[in-house]
A and B are shown apart, each in its own frame.
Chain A
């Protein structure tokens, strides 16, 4: 039985006297639920631009939030929001989203662009975002990219910081 499960049972039984007076901060679920207004319920976004965060690794979320907070990763709004949390809170939220299934988006595609994009993916993206990038346990924290919103993917690629490949 995982620790997470034990905590969940311990809390749900209500056996722990004075639990609330001891717990000094909101649960990961409480924190994660506040994201839904922009990223969708359980982090599954309906688009067109805000990315799904369901199923991303906790390491990726923590990494991203730290980069948004410091400004290393450019953003319109996430930097402002990232400044509202501690790294431990990022991790607590990250656990909740990591436990979700990856959300794949149904969207209209252009067959010719898909074919051209597939080649670009094989040449330039796959070495990091391999197995569709769906490596939740990858310590290097790469994002799952298949099924993500087209517009958001275009924006991410265009952000200069992304060019700095971390796996050679």
Chain B
């Protein structure tokens, strides 16, 4: 490793320049304190705030988030099966405050990219030198006839964790044995691509143990989905006769719902009654990203992949699910990873340096049965200005991995949760 340092040292500074660099360290002469405003206190936003402060404690970092607590979407499916409490997925902002970050609970109403100002519904204004926008997703209720925020109280999406998770959990637990749970996963792109199928497994685990005559019908808006081979294997192995998956090619997908009647009608015209109906609608970037003109016609936010700076408005970085980051997925791990790349870029740029070269990882576990978890992983780098998968890296849990390895993956999934939430919020 010493060799590496020396090599890098020579490569970066060159022979003679090193003497100058060491002899006369000049720190960037800034006019006043640099200010960063982070919008959104979820996985991406909270990580960015923490790592910007960690990278340069002199930067004044403010994070604006309406809620006093954040519920993670990851592992919220375990709340549905009863294997995890709501408390265990709830996180506050004292950890960030402890790092010297200003935490403001308010709703951002506008971003003036020209004047570099953020305004809130509560009437506050914040100046920034750089702004990081991490608003997550907005749900497109209008893509399914009859679905709305009101209908979601009866047919929860549970795709933003918290109250919605509780509603779905309570419905599943109150359902009679022999009942039907309908899950309608969204079209691409959407938050947490394996999430709907892990959800089926977690609800399936509860039903198999408690209400074995019940069924789960998945009415997909897609022909294929994330970790499909492994999920189909799990459906067959653990939930035969309980979970059935229907491709969009069979049903056309969900066209409309009647929340009061508890019915779902497919585009092919079939109507089905569900005792519990989980509608996960199509998605776009979070509302403020659209309001601030950061989203393009796709509904998502185009960014420079090297820095995650918006290509619509300079000085504003968009990270997490709201960004167009493919081939990185819209996952919690990717959001955390994007936030660190962005934090490094923001710190470097505010100190008059080049942003630096990025590296990303995604690691995602799905717990599909008792003592049975599967994963997908990938390492990414920047190639010709775009995020690219590092060839030969990553991939899925092997279809034929041993039972003991599957059991270990459950424990690694819990480690993942404990460590990533601590990395974000503590």
Contact = CB atoms under 8 A, between A and B. Distances in A.
A92 B423 contact: no
Contacts of A58: 1
B390 A22 contact: no
Contacts of B412: 38, 49-50, 76-77
A7 B8 CA distance: 8
A50 B1 contact: no
Interface string A66-97: 00000000001100110111001001101100
B12 A16 contact: yes
Please name the 9 residue pairs, one residue from A and one from B, whose CB atoms are nearest each other, closest first.
Answer: A84-B379, A20-B354, A84-B393, A50-B415, A49-B411, A10-B21, A46-B418, A34-B361, A91-B1
Given A21-B354, A40-B423, A50-B412, 5 more contacts: A10-B21, A33-B51, A49-B415, A83-B393, A85-B379
B359 interface: yes
Interface stretch (B24-32, B120-128, B184-192): B24-32
B227 to A, nearest CB: 14
Contacts of A81: 361, 363, 377, 379, 393-394
Interface residues of B, number: 67
A87 to B, nearest CB: 9
Interface of B: 1-6, 8-9, 11-14, 17-18, 20-22, 24-28, 51, 333, 336-337, 340-341, 344, 351-361, 363, 375, 377-379, 381, 390, 392-395, 397, 401, 405, 408-409, 411-412, 414-416, 418-420, 422-423, 426
A30 interface: yes
B422 A20 contact: no
B401 to A, nearest CB: 7
A34 B337 contact: yes
B344 A38 contact: no
Contacts of B344: 29-30
A95 B355 contact: no
Contacts of B17: 15-16
A44 to B, nearest CB: 9
Contacts of A49: 408, 411-412, 414-415
A31 B401 CA distance: 28
B130 to A, nearest CB: 17
A109 interface: no
Contacts, number: 199
Given A3-B6, A10-B21, A88-B4, A23 B415 contact: no
Interface centre among A31, A58, A80, A151 (most CB of B within 10 A): A80
A28 to B, nearest CB: 8
A61 B63 CA distance: 36
Contacts of B397: 76-77
Contacts of A30: 340-341, 344, 356-359
A91 B270 CA distance: 59
A39 B24 CA distance: 38
Contact of B353 (A14, A40, A59): A14
Q: How large is the interface on A (under 10, 10 to 19, 20 to 34, 35 or more residues)?
A: 35 or more
A31 to B, nearest CB: 5
Contacts of A39: 419
Given A30-B340, A30-B344, A77-B377, A47 B418 contact: yes
A20 B337 contact: no
Contact of A10 (B12, B351, B381): B12
A1 B12 contact: no
B363 A26 contact: no
Given A14-B351, A30-B357, A6 B9 contact: yes
Contact of A38 (B358, B363, B395): B363
A14 to B, nearest CB: 5
Given A19-B354, A76-B375, A38 B415 contact: yes
A21 B355 CA distance: 10
16 contacts: A3-B6, A10-B9, A12-B25, A12-B27, A14-B26, A15-B26, A19-B353, A20-B353, A37-B416, A37-B423, A38-B412, A38-B420, A41-B426, A46-B419, A49-B414, A84-B394
Contacts of A29: 344
A76 B20 contact: no
Contact of B21 (A16, A37, A88): A16
A53 B4 CA distance: 20
